[in-house]
Amino acid sequence: MTTIENTRKRAENDAKTNGYYLASDQELLKDLLEGLHKNEQRYGYPSCPCRLASGKLELDRDIICPCDYRDPDVNDYGQCYCGLYVTKEIYDKKKSAKPIPERRPLEKQGRAYTISTEQTAESAKTAIKKTPEIQTKLWYCKQCGYVCFREDPPYVCPICKAKREMFAELDVTTQVREKIS
Amino acid sequence: MQTVKVAGKNNKHHVLLYAISTCGWCKRAKKFLNENEIEYEYIDVDLCSSEDRNKIRQDIQTRGGPLAYPTVIIDNKILLTGAPQDKLREVLEL
Ligand code: SF4
């Protein structure tokens, strides 16, 4: 069971690795860390505190913190959507964090609404029917070889920081060889 | 829709807030309304039924707003995404 302290440590380490800072507004920071912690407890993964999650891992993968949209948002606005991760400039309060436009595509946002949150058998049935089809593929980074299995390639390679354009779909064919005994 | 009603001295306008219970900006919006003693009603979209979720989605989208929270709807006509305090002050005449 993770504690709120683990959530904080994880965010601090992640900020350090990427050269970001955590929100300097201590109240906002506390609220966001508590939100992440609560989501981890109720969904089993720390989905973004400021976005509506479906509660289904495969539909929420892009908004698990740090979300897919963090790096391009920090790049364009100096902060992530929630304002948890910021640049040094914003951290030093030369600018203050503010709500920024949502970069997550609308069709992905819609997934949190089609999923039923009720546990009754009837609604679970309709929820399954309504669950959107997701096509997961293998992607590899042409720069460093990192491979991931997901719907879209990441905006930034988590290993070598190459941009999304460096990712290509990996076509794999598996062959089952018969054992010669 | 199951909203929570918060009493306040200032009830000049009808204020409806769509929020997410874990969101820092939504908490800030609630705090702002409380501190200014505004009467309002809110609903945490992550905690409500799927039926209400869809009603909220429809309501925001027919008003032309993005599906982002907090969203404040004032007097059933003005939609403010992100609940910017300067705009809120202006519309609520604070
Ligand atoms: S917007 Fe910020 S806090 Fe929210 S998931 Fe992305 S990185 Fe985490």
- Is A103 a residue whose pLDDT tops 90? yes
Task: Place A161 in a pLDDT band, splitting at 50, 70 and 90.
Answer: confident
Using the beta-carbon criterion (under 8 Å), do B22 and A38 form an inter-chain contact?
yes
Does A83 share its domain with A39? yes
Round to whole Å and give the CA distance between B92 and B74: 8
From chain B, the residues in CB contact with A117 under 8 A are 48-50, 53
Q: Is the CB of A83 under 6 A from ligand 1?
A: no
Using the beta-carbon criterion (under 8 Å), do A83 and B24 form an inter-chain contact?
yes
Backbone angles phi, psi at A164, to 5 degrees: -50, -35
Does A142 share its domain with A90? no
Does A57 share its domain with A19? yes
From chain A, the residues in CB contact with B83 under 8 A are 99
* A3-7, A18-22, A123-127, B76-80: least confident range: A123-127
- pTM (2 decimals)? 0.83
Q: What pLDDT was estimated at residue A132? A: 57
Complex confidence, ipTM: 0.92
Kindly state whether residue A86 falls inside one of the protein's structural domains: yes
**Cβ atoms A116, A123 nearer than 8 A:** yes
Kindly state whether residue A116 falls inside one of the protein's structural domains: no
Q: What pLDDT was estimated at residue A140? A: 94
Does A4 share its domain with A75? yes
Does A94 share its domain with A162? no
Using the beta-carbon criterion (under 8 Å), do A109 and B24 form an inter-chain contact?
no
Does A94 share its domain with A172? no
Mean residue pLDDT across chain A:
85
Kindly state whether residue A128 falls inside one of the protein's structural domains: no
Kindly state whether residue A77 falls inside one of the protein's structural domains: yes
Using the beta-carbon criterion (under 8 Å), do B22 and A113 form an inter-chain contact?
no
Q: Which helix (H) or strand (E) holds B63?
A: none
Tokens of B39: 């009467």
Does A165 share its domain with A102? no
Domains in chain B and their CATH numbers? 4-91 (3.40.30.10)
- Given CB atoms, is A125 within the 8 Å cutoff of chain B? no
Does A104 share its domain with A158? no
Q: What pLDDT was estimated at residue A181? A: 56
What is the residue type of A123? S
Q: What pLDDT was estimated at residue A120? A: 40
DSSP A44: S
Does A93 share its domain with A149? no
Q: Which of A110, A144, A163 is the last residue of a domain?
A: A110
Kindly state whether residue A94 falls inside one of the protein's structural domains: yes
A128-143 pLDDT, tens digit per residue, is: 445 556 788 899 999 9
Nearest chain B CA: its distance from A117 CA (Å): 6
A24-56 pLDDT, tens digit per residue, is: 999 999 999 999 999 999 999 999 999 999 999
Does A2 share its domain with A62? yes
Distances (CA, A) of A169 to A147, A160, B53: 10, 18, 35
CATH number at residue A174: 2.20.28.10
Structural domains in chain A (count): 2
Which of A31, A35, A52 lies at the smallest CB-CB distance from B45? A52
Does A174 share its domain with A95? no
Kindly state whether residue A122 falls inside one of the protein's structural domains: no
Does A59 share its domain with A24? yes
- Is A123 a residue whose pLDDT tops 90? no
Chains A–B, number of C-beta pairs less than 8 Å apart: 71
- Given CB atoms, is A137 within the 8 Å cutoff of chain B? no
Backbone angles phi, psi at A72, to 5 degrees: -65, -35
Percent of chain A with pLDDT over 90: 57
Per-residue pLDDT of chain B (94 residues; tens, 9 = 90+): 889 999 999 999 999 999 999 999 999 999 999 999 999 999 999 999 989 999 999 999 999 999 999 999 999 999 999 999 999 999 999 8
- Is A148 a residue whose pLDDT tops 80? yes
Range of the domain at A147: 135-181
- Given CB atoms, is A59 within the 8 Å cutoff of chain B? no
Query: What angle, 0 to 180 degrees and rounded to 10, lies between the N-to-C axes of helices A4-18 and A26-43?
Result: 110
B48-70 pLDDT, tens digit per residue, is: 998 999 999 999 999 999 999 99
- Is A174 a residue whose pLDDT tops 80? no
* A25-29, A105-109, A165-169, A171-175: least confident range: A171-175
Kindly state whether residue A48 falls inside one of the protein's structural domains: yes
Kindly state whether residue A57 falls inside one of the protein's structural domains: yes
CATH number at residue A23: 3.90.460.10
